[in-house]
Amino acid sequence: MDPQPLIRVAFVLLPHSLALDWAGPAEALRIANQVLRSQGQPERFALEFVGPDPQTMSSVGLQLAGLAPLPIPPNQRGTADARPLWVVLVGQPGQTIRVDNDATRSALHWLRGLRLAPGVVELVSICAGSVLAAHAGQLAGHRATTHHQHLDELRQVEPRCDVVANRVFVEDAPVYSSAGVTTGIDLMLHRIGTVCGPALAAQVAQTMVVALRRGPQDPELSPFLAYRNHLHPALHRVQDAVSEMPASGWTVPGMAEVAHTSPRHLTRLFLEHTGIAPLQYLRRIRLAVAQTALQSGHSVGRAAEVAGFSSDTQLRRAWQQFALAGTPSSVQRAPVYPPK
């Protein structure tokens, strides 16, 4: 089996679906494919726009036509397509989500038949799309969020759902949910980062001019995504290069060549726009790589090597410099995320 299969992403569009709920995340996926192609890598996402009817009206009055039928998931009989499937549900305008029309009833019937499984069939709910998922019985026993105006509605529709308020998004695989219209982009960027790596997700966010937020359970902003809330193209080039090859023998002059500027000017730009010096940024990225290696079970020495540190002593010094919790050795015994 292909170790990196193309993921089908099916946006379920019902009458009056909020345009930005699906357009923003879809653009993030399109740009991710574009960046992958520019790097000589295959695309990872196949976008599909589906619904119970071949055409429908969006929330802004735009007629949407040519919608594909609701797909048969890969883990159900009757399909020859074994690719992973993300089902994206989006919100609709109004104080409550109406489910008394034929199109929505058909979609709910289809949703009830989905057998969710991590890496096979996953549910991504944007804004009030979580309410639709709840009506279909897919949120029982899961943690989820939705738009703040629909939190009580979500609790009423599915009392067995652990409804989380005041969160950008919540992940409880195979269910992922975001709190609002724009946070759907945050959630999709997070999903892109999980599949394609945080460096690529940062490039997508840069292209979209989106300020990346922390993840749903991360105690701090990922170093791959931090220091990127600026619009300076030369700095982004350097940060992209360092993120893609953190173990290379980077020096300030070498980074300056990427930026097409002098080492002294590059340092000024880093301090002005990111608040951190070039070599500090490099060490922070290398620490993130080392943390991932340690969490995967590598020894401290091996983690230092793959991250680009000259020795495990240099790794430990950088660890102390950035005041990271614990020690490199303790990370080997710690879970990537805290238990639920």
H or E element, residue 200: helix 198-208
Determine the structural domain holding residue 239 and report its residue range: 233-331
Indicate if 145 and 39 belong to the same structural domain. Answer: yes
Indicate if 203 and 239 belong to the same structural domain. Answer: no
Indicate if 46 and 162 belong to the same structural domain. Answer: yes
Q: Decide if 44 contacts 32 (C-beta within 8 A).
A: yes
Q: Of 106-120, 239-253, 292-306, which one has max mean pLDDT?
A: 106-120
The Cα–Cα gap between 67 and 13 comes to: 8
Indicate if 24 and 141 belong to the same structural domain. Answer: yes
Indicate if 317 and 243 belong to the same structural domain. Answer: yes
Strand partners, 124: 88, 176
Indicate if 182 and 304 belong to the same structural domain. Answer: no
Q: Determine if residue 32 is left, alpha or beta; phi over 0 gives left, psi from -120 to 50 gives alpha, anything else beta.
A: alpha
Cα distances from 9 to residues 28, 30, 196, in angstroms, run 12, 11, 15
The Cα–Cα gap between 330 and 303 comes to: 13
pLDDT at 75: 84
Residue 218's pLDDT band (boundaries 50, 70, 90)? Answer: very low
**Beta-strand runs (E) in 245-288:** none
For 23-71, the DSSP string reads: HHHHHHHHHHHHHHHHTT----EEEEEE-SSS-EE-TTS-EE--PBPPP
Residue 223 lies in a domain: no
Q: Decide if 32 contacts 192 (C-beta within 8 A).
A: yes
- Find tokens 């990127």 and name the residue: 228
Residue 148 lies in a domain: yes
102 residue type, one letter: D
Residue 326's pLDDT band (boundaries 50, 70, 90)? Answer: confident
Q: How many CB atoms lie within 10 A of CB 103?
A: 15
pLDDT at 337: 35
The predicted model gives 171-191 an average pLDDT of 90
pLDDT at 339: 31
Task: Domain count for the chain, please give it.
Answer: 2
User: At residue 216, does pLDDT exceed 70?
Assistant: no
- Find tokens 């193209």 and name the residue: 233
pLDDT at 325: 82
The predicted model gives 215-241 an average pLDDT of 71
Question: What is the rounded average pLDDT for all residues in the chain?
Answer: 88
Q: Is the pLDDT higher at 309 or at 220?
A: 309
**CATH assignment at residue 145:** 3.40.50.880
Residue 340 lies in a domain: no
38 residue type, one letter: S
pLDDT at 211: 57
Model pTM score: 0.70
User: At residue 35, does pLDDT exceed 50?
Assistant: yes
Residue 213 lies in a domain: no
pLDDT at 3: 60
Percentage of the chain exceeding pLDDT 90 = 66
Indicate if 243 and 145 belong to the same structural domain. Answer: no
Residue 61 lies in a domain: yes
- Model pLDDT for residues 155-174, shown as the tens digit of each residue: 999 999 999 987 788 999 99
Residue 295 lies in a domain: yes
Q: Decide if 13 contacts 51 (C-beta within 8 A).
A: yes
Residue 122's SS3 state is strand
Residue 227 lies in a domain: no
Indicate if 198 and 245 belong to the same structural domain. Answer: no
Non-local (6+) Cβ contacts of 247 within 8 A are 286, 289, 306, 307, 308
**CATH assignment at residue 324:** 1.10.10.60
User: At residue 220, does pLDDT exceed 70?
Assistant: no
pLDDT at 236: 86
Residue 44 lies in a domain: yes
User: At residue 16, does pLDDT exceed 50?
Assistant: yes
